[in-house]
Structure 1
Amino acid sequence: MVKIKKTVEELDPYVPGRSNADLARVYGLDPADIIRMGSNENPLGPSSLAIQAINKNLHLINTYPESNIDDLKDQIASYAGVNPNEVIVGGDGADEILDVLAKTLIEPGDEYIVHPPSYMYYEFTFSVYGAVPVYARWDVEGNCLDVDSVLEAITPKTKVVFLCTPNNPTGGLIAKKDIKTILESTDALVVVDEAYWEFSGVNNLELLEEYDNLFILRTFSKVMGLAGMRIGYGIGQKEFIEYMHRVKPVFSLIKLSYIAASATLSDPEYIKESTRLSIDSREFLYDEMSKFPELKVFKSFANYILVDIRNTGMNSKKITVKLMENGIIVRDCSSFRGLDDYWIRVSVATMEEDIKFINVLKSILG
């Protein structure tokens, strides 16, 4: 067998959510009846304008994507309230932006800081390039960042500090004053992942004017309802964005994704309704799950809720299997660094689906 790169050999595989087809095959279910509450997807579906635009342009899939997407950058900049030259757009969601960041910054042996439990793809991306993870701490019980643990983890080798707010999978926010403290404590790039910022109403864009080592990561997969189109974007200093473009694939954003993103940004009413529906679902699920004495439910500012299930007498694998047998997918969080085998994450759904989930949960917990 060919010799595999050492960092790849040592890397644990990423554990994605279960697909409808997989679940239907294993449990003998109708895929159309399965409720997806495990992948933080948008229950409203995509914008009707995005669907119309895709249908109108299907005949173009034999041609290469646009290499100049200045018009989309203009739209994103207008939406975010920044300058277009501070924006970089990529395919494969925000994950490609992470890959470009690693290509731009990382030399083997460089360190990066993460605060488990958090989004695991930071590690999957950066470790492949020979970067060394240094672990700070998210205080799960308090659902807040242990800022001192981040400051203590900073060394001269630190190249990047990842801060996820709202944090995935806990749903907690990082206070702006804490982000400023970290920015002022290092010359490393501080990447603030705001994939779910619309559900919290809190962002950190104004800090870009004050700190040249801040980079903000965002996605079209959540409130924009385009997870299947894989569109992400980053916001940072103009000079740094220019360096990123040197190593970014030219045609990474496929033509239909580009068209769908542009159409969605042209539909502010959809974005407003998408945000409202997800927040309503989140608050309903929080209130209803909090009524179960066996569950410890954590307040969330995202479109998902973290739940401690250890008092149910079941672990996360057992309870997720029971839910899947009833056609409901939630996330088993045992694969998250920093969590044990007694945590699940429940994503928002339509109100009808939420009610079904609560009823199934009642039957499981007796």
Structure 2
Amino acid sequence: MRDFLSGFEAYAWEEPSRSIAERYGLAEEDIIRFDLNTSPYKPVETLREVELEEIDIHQYPDTSYSSLREKLTSYTGFSIDSFVITNGADEALDIIAKVFIESGDEAVISTPTYSYFRIVTEVMGGKPKYVMRRKDGFSDDIEAILEGVNKRTKVIFLCSPNNPTGNLTPERDVEKLLSETDAAVVVDEAYYEFCGRTVADLTRRYGNLIVVRTFSKAFAMAGARVGYIIAAEETVRWLNKVRPPNSLSIPSLKLAEKALEHVDAVKRNVRLLMEEKEFMNRELSALEGVRVFPSEANFLLVKFLETPADEVHAKLMQRGLILRNLSSVPGLENCLRITIHKPENNRKLLASLRHALRSM
């Protein structure tokens, strides 16, 4: 076993709905997950058109994933050689770390943000260097990031919209990093479809920009595990050197290809969720002692000013309403993250939250 594992902090896995239900004497189907940032709407059109009996499940997939890359060309406007297809966005981050990070290298991480940036860095023997986001809405401190860059810095990790704060990194800030450092600048755009704003066009001018996306969020395919990278063609060639063969199943590939034929349905569901987000923002902001941060994604970060967030989280969990408790994360003290759900579930959460706050 590698020595570093003895002190390594693994990813905090979400507790299964079944065990939560058993603990509180609830039915599993009554558990509502507001903690996963997944879509509450199944991709019905996509599922209907993928005929599993027609899939050659006894064969390996086309390991170049050429059919999916062709469809991504139409969806994004980038050339077929600008993509690396991955088993979700997490594998994309693994691949990037394998290419750029060795023992003793550093990765600058604008934090609080997605914890997997730290994990892939440490697994490769690198050292995370954290730069705290500004307190005025969690914007990236670009000057502090640049000050943190040195000859050992190989990667700068950003997330836009950022998980869990929901804010964007402006394109001008990303370009400043690209132009003033040789490090790979990785921008996780897992929530891109919810805001429609991307820095991917900068890959046409900067070989050190790598954009990561996923089918898990707006496309509602978290269970299929499909992601992709957009980068300059030379960068893609390096990434493909360490990409695992056959890491995507044929059913997952077919689902992703069909999903790209139903972008209108994706946009419709995104519109519904964004309308609900605005409703939830208004209702939560009206609660006494609650601050809601602006978000460009399908979730809201909520800070409790007068009530311990741990207690709020526990009371809601007893009712089968599971929120993401971020209180132990530096910079997010007393904060919970709420995924936007279907209208009826959002209203159930609001009623339960009001009841919980009155009782505390």
TM category (shorter chain) comes to over 0.9
Answer whether contact 1:87 1:241 (CA < 8 A) is retained.
yes
Aligned partner (choices 317, 322, 330) of residue 329 of structure 1: 322
Q: Paired residue for 2:251, among 244, 250, 256?
A: 256
Tell me, yes or no, if structure 1 residue 361 matches structure 2 residue 336. no
1:38 aligned residue (4, 13, 35): 35
Letter of the aligned partner of 1:19 in structure 2? P
Question: Shift of residue 55 of structure 1?
Answer: 4.4
- 8 Å CA contact 1:58, 1:256 repeated in 2: no
Give the equivalent residue in structure 2 for 1:26: 23
Letter in 2 for 1:145: D
Give the superposition deviation at 1:269.
1.9
d(CA) in 1 for partners of 2:9, 2:52:
42
TM-score between the two structures when normalised by the length of structure 1:
0.94
How many angstroms does 1:268 deviate by? 1.7
CA distance in 1, matches of 2:22, 2:218: 30
Match of 2:123 in 1: 128
Aligned-partner residue type, residue 44 of structure 2: S
- Residue type of the alignment partner of 1:162: F
Q: 2:149 matched to which residue of 1?
A: 154
- Aligned partner of 2:5 in structure 1 is 8
Change (3 A) 1:237 1:57: farther
- Shift, 1:211, TM fit: 1.5
Contact persistence 1:53–1:259 (CA under 8 A): no
Structure 2: give runs of 5+ residues left out of the alignment. none
Given that 2:50 and 2:258 are in contact with CA atoms closer than 8 Å, whether structure 1 keeps it comes out as no
| 57-66 or 294-303, larger mean C-alpha shift | 57-66
Give deviations 1:233-282, integer Å, cap 9, x for gaps: 00001111111111111100111110111111111221111211221121
Q: Offset at 1:337? A: 4.4
Instruction: Look up the match of 2:174.
Output: 179
Say which of 66, 69, 76 aligns to 1:73. Answer: 69
Instruction: Determine the structure 1 residue equivalent to 2:46.
Output: 50
Q: Helix, strand or coil for the counterpart of 1:144?
A: coil
- Secondary structure, counterpart of 1:307 in structure 2: strand
Q: Distance in 1 between matches of 2:290 and 2:331?
A: 19
1:288 aligned onto 2:283: yes
Q: 2:201 aligns with which of 206, 210, 228?
A: 206
CA distance in 1, matches of 2:168, 2:158: 10
Change (3 A) 1:37 1:215: same
Correspondence for 2:102: 107
Deviation at 1:102, TM superposition (A): 1.2
Change (3 A) 1:62 1:320: farther
Shift in CA distance, 79/232, structure 1 to aligned 2, threshold 3 Å: same
Deviations 1:172-227 (A, max 9, x none): 11111111111111001100111111111211122122212111010100000000
**Aligned residue among 294, 297, 301 for 1:302:** 297
Give aligned-pair identity as a percent.
34
In 2: Cα distance, 1:13 partner to 1:143 partner: 25
Residue aligned with 1:134, SS: strand
Conserved in 1, the CA contact under 8 Å of 2:289 and 2:306?
yes
Alpha-carbon RMSD across the aligned residues, in angstroms, is 1.5
* Structure 2 residue identity aligned to 1:260: L
- Which amino acid is the alignment partner of residue 363 of structure 1? H
| Separation in structure 1 between the aligned mates of residue 269 and residue 17 of structure 2, nearest angstrom | 23
Q: Is the Cα contact below 8 Å between 1:17 and 1:331 reproduced in 2? A: no
Say if 2:234 is the partner of 1:239. yes
Supply the AA of the counterpart residue of 2:181.
T
- The two structures have a TM-score, normalised by structure 2, of 0.96
Q: Distance in 1 between matches of 2:304 and 2:142?
A: 27
Aligned residues: 358
Which secondary structure state, in structure 1, belongs to the residue aligned with residue 128 of structure 2?
strand
CA distance in 2, matches of 1:80, 1:112: 28
